[in-house]
Structure 1
């Protein structure tokens, strides 16, 4: 079995923590200027970086059974969680009638269906030279904003807008990430992050929805040609910020590194907790107290909990459609059963 790379597991767990944290603090971006700045800062890189890593690990696209493998890994859980979210929202009373629309992804589930389509698109784009493939992908992402019908349905907008990041990840190799660990790269990354931070503060009215990639230009209240120019700028910011993030990812193993292999569990499950939090009395209470420290701690605890072997073992049949994590428990039960059977037979023998 190939040894897992601590670098990529560290990157994945840091990014999924930011996903959870970003969803928590979204409740306060209108009321707290500092949180609004932080929210925009996170969204300049966390999903693009996550998508780049996903593309990096998609190099087995031509392996036998790969399409079925990603279908089982992505589409089946997507369909299941679409149903679960429909039930969840109904009982949460956010929707008066039960509403199930399998092709309109609920909230964070867009990533699963987009990830599936990105893998399919690779079958065509990996035949091109990297520069040509990326140029075409960016052109398509920019053009998508002109079509008002390209929205959240089938996650089509995000699929087209974010595909360049997936493509970049696919064309990168380990040496590409290694080069980002140099002192010069880190100094450049720090300068980039500082400039972007100043830019976010200088333009406080920046609509964070530009970073979502989920809307046509018309829905972003922008003239379409101007919207294309804005998205071009957003692309530039997201690419350089994702690279800056990778420059600071640690390469050695930490106590949290092992959680990096379970980010799908965190991604799929944390939404239920966040949705319960939003609109609750706790959300209102934190708005009047030390919001940020509490939410940082809560995000860390939730990330750790949903990455734990207990939660992943319990939910594996629903997320991975297998029970390999159950085997230790099954074996322990079997051993206990055999021990009890042996004790019972010894008792019978003693009576004889």
Structure 2
């Protein structure tokens, strides 16, 4: 989701010198440093689903259909983001340049928006004494905290022989550990970890495999079945497993349910992520450039979601009718699209993409 990342080359190395060509995720040659339209398209479509999901949240109590759609979207939209984030992190090696980009692109925005959301929700939630703490991510900021830690651990995952099974084992153990606490929203950090590690392990050919005509056709009945399953599950299944923020005991289940649920949810989410990616266009579209700024849409739309409840935007009864749900969906999609646009980036670039050159030493020049 970070805007400063550039996908690695097909063999996982950093981009070569300017002017060199490399294959993209679709196998087509691209010049070094050129963004891959497929990934930007995927990130834009995923951020639209994130915003729409938050917009649907107040409507769930009055509509089983909206709740089913909400459940389906939550099963794969953040996993898709995190898989792509892991793929973009393949070149992270802990070098000074990479650490600097991690600090400016992830850590500083976390500090800025964690503070901003704390002050903002003091007003919207009516909690004037809410403390400012960087150890307990508020609302959307958990993703930045998790991404910072995940990316720092990238060199370790590159050394592990079976990284995805190990990450799954960590997630399974986390669901059995209610005593982990709230620091850095560690439950979500650990339970979403397998998706990040999976992204680190993927190669361009894996993305090509899910973008065939056959995969796109198969995705239709899979999504249809998933929607039917979500509709059936609404009154019967605890959807808290999809949020990855609680242990099994906190969800009201015995500890041994956690590992089993982790494997089931991971498999279902991964299948839906593959189906979602199969529908993502690989060519440049009108929204491709917006995909490079999804962090803006992610961090800024939360303020609108918070104030919508405070100002009673969901009070009109007609919003809980089918037409109202459609209107809410369209408004949320348009809003997050605007928040990813160039004018918004110019206004809020100082917060989302800070550039504190004064805080870093200049790298010494080496003799030729």
Q: Aligning the two structures, in what range does the TM-score lie when normalised by the shorter sequence?
A: 0.7 to 0.9
2:133 is the counterpart of 1:72: no
Q: Aligned match of 2:297 in 266, 273, 282? A: 266
Q: Which runs of 4+ in 1 moved over 4 A?
A: none
Gaps of at least 5 residues in structure 2 are 1-31, 357-368
Q: Separation in 2 of the partners of 1:93 and 1:50?
A: 28
Q: Separation in 1 of the partners of 2:207 and 2:257?
A: 34
Equivalent pairs counted in the alignment come to: 322
Q: Deviations over 1:13-59 (max 9, x none)?
A: 00000011101101111211110000001011100010000011002
User: 1:298 is matched with which residue?
Assistant: 331
| Residue pair 2:125, 2:310 contacting (<8 A) in 1 also | no
| Residue pair 2:90, 2:154 contacting (<8 A) in 1 also | no
User: 2:270 is matched with which residue?
Assistant: 239
Q: How does 1:46-195 map to 2 (within 5 A)?
A: 46-62=77-93, 64-65=95-96, 66-129=98-161, 132-195=162-225
- Please state which structure has a larger fraction of its residues in helix: 1
Q: Separation in 2 of the partners of 1:140 and 1:288?
A: 41
User: 1:214 is matched with which residue?
Assistant: 245
Of residues 144-153 and 310-319 in structure 1, the stretch that sits farther from structure 2 once superposed is 144-153
Judged with a 3 Å threshold, the aligned counterparts in structure 2 of structure 1 residues 152 and 292 are, in CA distance, closer, same or farther, namely farther
| Residue pair 1:186, 1:244 contacting (<8 A) in 2 also | yes
Q: Separation in 1 of the partners of 2:333 and 2:257?
A: 39
Q: Separation in 2 of the partners of 1:202 and 1:288?
A: 20
Q: SS at the partner of 2:117? A: helix
User: 1:335 is matched with which residue?
Assistant: none
Q: Deviations over 1:268-288 (max 9, x none)?
A: 111000001124332111534
Q: How does 1:340-351 map to 2 (within 5 A)?
A: none
2:255 is the counterpart of 1:224: yes
Aligned-CA RMSD value: 1.8
Judged with a 3 Å threshold, the aligned counterparts in structure 2 of structure 1 residues 242 and 81 are, in CA distance, closer, same or farther, namely same
Q: Separation in 2 of the partners of 1:93 and 1:150?
A: 26
Gaps of at least 5 residues in structure 1 are 324-352
- TM-score of the superposed pair, with normalisation by structure 2: 0.83
- TM-score of the superposed pair, with normalisation by structure 1: 0.87
Of residues 141-150 and 45-54 in structure 1, the stretch that sits farther from structure 2 once superposed is 141-150
Q: Separation in 2 of the partners of 1:102 and 1:292?
A: 35
Of residues 186-195 and 155-164 in structure 1, the stretch that sits farther from structure 2 once superposed is 186-195
Q: Which has the larger radius of gyration?
A: 1
Q: Deviations over 1:136-195 (max 9, x none)?
A: 110110110111122542121111111111111111122211121112222332232222
Q: Deviations over 1:106-155 (max 9, x none)?
A: 011000000011112222111123xx111111011011011112254212
